[in-house]
Amino acid sequence: MRLRFLGKESSQGDSPTLYATDRETYIIQGYIVRDPEILAKLEMPEDETCVEIYARPLPHLAKDGLHGTVTSWAPPIVHVLDGGNYVIQGKRVTDRDVLSEMAVPTNEDCVEVSKAALKALLEEDNHGADDA
């Protein structure tokens, strides 16, 4: 799998990060979700996990051709926190070669989600649509 960096939103050294892959998927790096109430609500296959990210990195999807605003909270977004952060569920990234290209602190993890799943959550922004 090849990664292409799309964007990162940092706050005091934190690093939710978004990558496109050559497999029509995205790698989303975010914080490990440890809240037992949230985890108890999720049904996760053994090869999946979830991460918490700010909403701010998602506009970087435009660098891969996905434009719009998140208007739907459905999988892979499985929970929205009070502060507006998203909990995103997907396949746990375990490929050592991929992980070696990334800086993943011990309090973070990565999930892989399909481009189609993220596209389904976006509503196209209308930038000056023709009225004539």
pLDDT digits (tens, 9 = 90+) for 78-130: 999 988 899 999 999 999 999 999 988 899 999 999 999 999 888 765 444 44
Cα–Cα distance for residue pair 106/109, rounded to 1 Å: 8
∠ CA 95-11-101, rounded to 5°: 20
User: What residue type is assigned to position 118 of the chain?
Assistant: L
Instruction: Quote the DSSP letter at residue 59.
Output: G
- Per-residue pLDDT of 106-118, as tens digits, reads 999 999 999 999 9
Q: Are strands 108-114 and 77-80 parallel, antiparallel or unpaired?
A: unpaired
Pairwise CA distance, residues 108 & 71, whole Å: 26
Please answer whether residues 53 and 105 qualify as being in contact, where contact means their C-beta atoms are separated by less than 8 angstroms. no
**pTM, 2 dp:** 0.87
**Position with higher pLDDT, 68 vs 99:** 99
Mean pLDDT of the chain: 88
| Domain-wise residue ranges, the chain | 3-123
Tokens of 69: 């605003």
